[in-house]
Chain A
Amino acid sequence: MARIRWHHLAVGLLIIATGLGMLGGDEKAETILKIEFQFKSEEYRQGSIYSSMAPIIWAGLERGEVTKTVVSDGRLIIEARFSNFTPSRNETFELDLGPKRLKFVARPVVWSQPDINGWKTGTMAPVLFLQQPDPDWMTLEKAQWLVTAADHMILELTLHNFSALPHAGVEVNLGGTEHNNCLMADRAFAEIEIRFSFQKGVLTLLSSDPEFGELIRRPFTFEFHPCGTTGFWADLGPTGSIAARQIFRIRYRFPPTIPIGKVISVGGYPVPLSENGQIAFSTLLLIGGGDPFRRQEPGEGIQVRLDGERVYPQWAAVPLR
């Protein structure tokens, strides 16, 4: 009679346990989607327009991971992945593509054999959004800070109205938030009047920016909470209408320093003010939401927001770097 050794028993138990684990465990499935998107008119099938559309894919409350976006043959090709997810036959997906929301139903999925870890991969038949309506929105292509030789801070926004229709323009807001962890003792609120000039113009190959800026008085709200969110907000006013198919650049030039009637302290230390009660505008931005040495949480930091119809994206981060 063969003797059962301990290691035989252990191996046997291991095999049984593995088998039970595979039978009773959660299904390890990953679904891969490929989506192709194309505008109706050839003139809009450009990488610059497609790349501004930042795809997000949802299946109910499940958000897919966009793994690849490329532009090929005038089409935007998006690859996405849903982990631990098996679409039902009537599953409806939502694709947020720029300001558009497109819905599509699940296609048949071809499943691979489970790998050694029990994972299986399903590839869904491609989803083709062709002949889609041409873009009728304006995009915020770029938002950045510039500093002049005279230490003026300039907020430069580049807007691209690639639609065939003129755009009524948007209202520009500048804001910043940062969360404090109760390290500071003071609380301050200030309504500061800032004056900035702005330039706006159309970028063409032949001309530079025409200047027609005047000093504009705008309230700049600054709020400081020692144990909460510190932030500022400024309404920079309307851009005015933007003609069809034009790249439009607008610059807001802020003064190097602004007067402030109250001393703000950070961590018990007063914020450096100039002798005549002025604070550097960049310091204000740093306190409000732009500390470059601190890792910011989502939603924090300096942002520019555009309020209006047919504009995408409606906000952009403008870090002080």
Chain B
Amino acid sequence: MFDPKQERAADAGPVVIGVTAIAASMAAVNGFTGFLAGAPPFWLDSISTVLVSSAALVWVTRTLHVLASNRRARGRLWTARDLTIGLGAPVSTSIALIALAVWNSWMPVERCFSHPWQICGTFSSVCGNRACLLLYDARNRPIYNYCHAVADDSGFVMIKPAHWWTYQPKYGVLVCGDQRSQPFRLSSEFTASPCEAIKEF
């Protein structure tokens, strides 16, 4: 007699499970931690999105396949309960993977449809022209792997990204020698013309 459980067990082989586990892990690590900091976040997000979306596609396909198998096995007299047999794992995996794909794709998609940005304003501190600025994206990941030196004695900064795909900074940390400020949110004034924003430390 045809057993849908045996068919599912045969299909969800170790390769699929392994690839899924790797994609999901990378997407989760990238999306929720700064562990992969150093590489441009846009590309990390994009790669994670592609990987986890592919895995999600496999699992959605599998879910539909199990659903169709259940229906075929029960013939014309099927109930809703009959159809859901063995769907728990594929459905929950699919939902988790889709959520991860959305979470990872959100910022690259937003970047693609946004205008070029600039950060411009004065970061006033007793450190003067020895200060520099670390910039972080909306998920607190460093955007650059170096500290942006202020341009002059007033602490003026004007940063325009070299690439269109560089995320807009949302948070900053002012560094003065061995000292660091608390992370602060870059208000919208710092992206507005004509550079009159000021943050005092």
A residues near B (Cβ < 8 Å) are 40, 92, 102-105, 107-108, 110, 125-131, 133
Contact = CB atoms under 8 A, between A and B. Distances in A.
B154 A108 contact: no
Given A40-B126, A130-B124, A131-B124, A105 B156 contact: yes
Contacts of B129: 103
A104 B152 contact: yes
B126 A125 contact: no
Given A103-B153, A105-B152, A105-B156, A128 B198 contact: yes
Interface stretch (B5-13, B19-27, B67-75, B188-196): B188-196
A104 B153 contact: yes
- Give the interface centre of B129, B193, B195 by most chain A CB atoms within 10 Å: B195
Given A40-B126, A108-B120, A129 B153 contact: yes
A248 B195 CA distance: 43
B160 to A, nearest CB: 11
Nearest to A35: B154
A295 to B, nearest CB: 39
Nearest to A92: B152
Contact of B196 (A102, A126, A131): A126
B200 interface: yes
Contacts of B120: 108
Nearest to B129: A103
Contact of B198 (A104, A105, A130, A133): A130
A131 B125 contact: yes
Contacts of A92: 152
B195 A128 contact: no
Nearest to B157: A105
A131 B156 contact: no
Given A40-B126, A133-B126, A125 B198 contact: no
Contacts of B122: 128, 130
B156 A127 contact: yes
A128 B124 contact: yes
A102 B198 CA distance: 18
Interface in B150-201: 151-154, 156, 158, 193-196, 198, 200-201
Nearest to A89: B158
Going nearest first, the 4 A-B pairs with the smallest beta carbon separation are A130-B124, A104-B152, A125-B195, A125-B194
B126 A110 contact: no
Interface in B120-137: 120, 122, 124-126, 129
A108 B193 contact: yes
Contacts of A102: 152-154
A125 B152 contact: no
A132 B193 CA distance: 25
B195 A130 contact: no
Interface in B82-127: 120, 122, 124-126
Contacts of A107: 156, 194-195
A249 B194 CA distance: 47
A130 B200 contact: yes
Contact of A104 (B124, B154, B201): B154
Nearest to A124: B194
A104 B151 CA distance: 7
22 contacts: A40-B126, A102-B152, A102-B153, A102-B154, A103-B129, A103-B152, A104-B152, A105-B152, A105-B156, A107-B156, A107-B194, A108-B193, A108-B195, A125-B195, A125-B196, A127-B154, A128-B154, A129-B153, A130-B200, A131-B124, A131-B126, A131-B200
A129 B201 CA distance: 13
B194 A108 contact: yes
Given A103-B129, A131-B200, A133-B126, 5 more contacts: A102-B154, A105-B151, A128-B198, A130-B124, A131-B124
Contacts of B154: 102, 104, 127-130
Contacts of A108: 120, 193-195
A14 B122 CA distance: 49
Contact of B194 (A110, A130, A133): A110
Contacts of A105: 151-152, 156, 158
